[in-house]
Amino acid sequence: MDVQLGRIVIYTKRLEEMVAFYCTHFGFSALRLEGDRVVELVAPEGGGNILLHPMGAGRKEGQVLVKLVFDVEDVEGFCRAAEARGLSFGAIHKADGYSFANAKDPAKNSISVSSRAYVGQ
């Protein structure tokens, strides 16, 4: 059986802010199907897509225990470039031969950039 993770759903009350955030800072492109309230963010270079789904009333943003991790070879360089576009990451951490930094998207979901995928290459 050939199975792979293709999409992650993020529920949000800030749909347009989220579209702009992930397109601007991580290179996704927005795919909108007529009559569909979900926006699919298509990953650059064939990575996993993100489905942005409007959040129902009564739910709170940023309380899901999931973190999106984006693979970048140069964490420090990525964080500098992101800062120039208005996205601030926290401190860069070093761990077992790789580095990573954390931030939040407009809906207060945790995100991270990490060079872990490049260890040993």
- Is pLDDT larger for residue 47 or for residue 18? 18
Domain 7-118 falls in which CATH fold? Answer: 2,3-Dihydroxybiphenyl 1,2-Dioxygenase; domain 1 (3.10.180)
What is residue 28's predicted lDDT score, i.e. its pLDDT?
Answer: 97
Distance from CA of residue 75 to its chain's centroid?
A: 15
- Is pLDDT larger for residue 88 or for residue 65? 88
**pLDDT digit string, tens, across residues 14-40:** 999 999 999 999 999 999 988 888 999
In the chain, what are the domain boundaries?
Answer: 7-118
Interatomic CA distance for residues 56 and 50, integer angstroms: 18
Structure-token match 């009564």, residue found = 58
